[in-house]
Amino acid sequence: MGHPLAIYTGRAVELGLTFGGSEPKASTRRAIDASRDDDAVLVDAVARGDARALELIYDRHSRGVYSLSLRLLSDSTAAEEVVQETFLKLWRHPNAYQPARGRLLPWLLGVAHHHAVDLLRRRQLEQRHRATPNGDATSDALDTLGLPSPDDDPQIHAGAFDQRVAITRAMANLPIEQRLPLELAYYRGMTQFEVAALLGVPLGTIKTRMRLGLQQLRRVPELSVVWGER
């Protein structure tokens, strides 16, 4: 499946969530730079009050934002609310996005994640999601957390999501003591205190493991070349 951006730019390249591959080609890099520039241009237009520009941004990135929100909340109504709030924030405060500090989609996902976690905590939905730390709590939690295995994900199986494969594999390759805090925090919306309590590990250790886990993920070649390059 091609990314919606291809519809508007006419570029036959895979962008956004479908980028990737072990060694991105120069043409892909150029297309990524162009995509970033396009997003920046669109956000500039939003800042001038151009609703059509926001519409284009929605068409490009709403799927990613909705998917993350749904993954966190397991509630389509709440996920739609998060999507709406995320794009409204861009409309109301376009200055909050700074192109010099990264691409637009990560920023939108960050906004959506924050909204979703806020909803989770406010509605105490986490009680429905959290694993109870008893018995083999760690392995139980791991079984019900995070991303599906690349082998189990039909979309990945279809071969169209190289970057997702890379991230999923990178997550799977993390030491379990780093992977668990990341997944509990990011996909379950748990605070660092809750993670420390759940895993029975000092708070300082949890902070360090979160930091090491993110640094380890950052080293994934596809991530550094395509996603995070500024």
- The residue (of 148 and 175) whose beta carbon lies closer to other proteins is 148
Size of residue set near other proteins by CB under 8 A = 75
Tell me if 87 contacts other proteins by CB under 8 A: yes
Please identify, among the stretches 6-14, 22-30, 68-76, 127-135, the one whose residues bind other proteins according to the rule CB under 8 A: 68-76
Tell me if 167 contacts other proteins by CB under 8 A: yes
Please identify, among the stretches 6-14, 22-30, 131-139, 215-223, the one whose residues bind other proteins according to the rule CB under 8 A: 215-223
Tell me if 158 contacts other proteins by CB under 8 A: no
For the bound state, the minimum distance from the C-beta of residue 125 to other proteins, rounded and expressed in Å, comes to 14
In degrees rounded to 5, what are phi and psi of residue 206?
-65, -45
For the bound state, the minimum distance from the C-beta of residue 94 to other proteins, rounded and expressed in Å, comes to 6
Q: Which amino acid is residue 144, in one-letter code?
A: T
Q: Which of 29, 63, 129, 130 binds other proteins (CB under 8 A)?
A: 63
Alpha carbon separation from 33 to 16, 27, 219 (Å, rounded):
11, 10, 20
Alpha carbon separation from 31 to 14, 16, 36 (Å, rounded):
9, 10, 9
Taking the C-alpha atoms of residue 10 and residue 145, their distance in angstroms, rounded to an integer, is 38
Contact 62, 79 (CB under 8 A): no
For the bound state, the minimum distance from the C-beta of residue 15 to other proteins, rounded and expressed in Å, comes to 12
Two structure tokens written together for 91 = 């409309």
Taking the C-alpha atoms of residue 65 and residue 49, their distance in angstroms, rounded to an integer, is 22
Enumerate residues 6+ apart whose C-beta is below 8 A from 108: 61, 64, 65, 86, 87, 90
Please identify, among the stretches 23-31, 127-135, 137-145, 212-220, the one whose residues bind other proteins according to the rule CB under 8 A: 212-220
Q: Which of 39, 107, 125, 199 binds other proteins (CB under 8 A)?
A: 107
Q: Which of 42, 46, 198, 199 binds other proteins (CB under 8 A)?
A: 46
Tell me if 198 contacts other proteins by CB under 8 A: no
Contact 5, 16 (CB under 8 A): yes
